[in-house]
Amino acid sequence: MNRIEKKEIATDAAKLFEEEVRELMPDIPRTELCDMVDEYIYYQTDDLSKQEADSIVEATCILK
């Protein structure tokens, strides 16, 4: 996975990552998927706080 250099594209990256995981693991529980998305966004995005990562996951994964 590549680093996400701008916070502005973190939401799009979260959606893409979620789709890729679903393709590979279609039966993954939603909570596990959202946790994976959260960790991916937090650790791959420069200058992103944990709260910002959590809010991105809420909007892209949890609230779907």
DSSP 1-62: ---B--GGGHHHHHHHHHHHHHHH-TT--HHHHHHHHHHHHHHHBTT--HHHHHHHHIIIII
Q: pLDDT (tens digit, 9 = 90+) per residue, 11-20?
A: 999 999 999 9
The sign one gets for the Cα dihedral 55, 10, 45, 17 is positive
Domain ranges across the chain: 7-62
Q: pLDDT (tens digit, 9 = 90+) per residue, 23-62?
A: 999 999 999 999 999 999 999 998 899 999 999 999 888 7
What is the model's pTM? 0.85
Q: φ and ψ at 18, to 5 degrees?
A: -60, -45
